[in-house]
Amino acid sequence: MKQNDIRALQEKTVAELQAQVAELSKELARARLEMKAGRRQNTHIAMIADDVARVKTVIRKKELETA
């Protein structure tokens, strides 16, 4: 995820961010499955997991701001 993408996360609503987490989680699960099945050699699993963590961090930050 590029710096501009990370900044754009701040502008999204919590619902949009939760949808993005769901999408990234599906992508992460699919990549892990393909790696275990031997269909994928060069995976970017760590990058996807980092993106999930970034989005969840922004969600938590927004929740704390509204509380």
Domain boundaries, the chain: 3-66
Average pLDDT over residues 13-17: 96
* pLDDT score at 1: 79
Q: How confident is the model at residue 13 (pLDDT cuts 50, 70, 90)?
A: very high
Q: How confident is the model at residue 49 (pLDDT cuts 50, 70, 90)?
A: very high
Nearest in space to 48 (alpha carbons), one of 34, 37, 38: 34
The predicted-structure confidence for 23-47, as pLDDT tens digits, reads as follows 999 999 999 999 989 887 777 899 9
Domain 3-66 CATH class label: mainly alpha
**Could you say which DSSP state residue 40 is in?**
-
pTM of the shown model: 0.87
Give CA separation, 34 vs 26, 37, 52, 65, in Å.
12, 5, 19, 39
Task: State the greatest distance between any 2 C-alpha atoms of the chain, in Å, as a whole number.
Answer: 46
Task: Using DSSP, state whether 42 is helix, strand or coil.
Answer: coil
* pLDDT score at 43: 72
**Structure-token pair, residue 33:** 């499955």
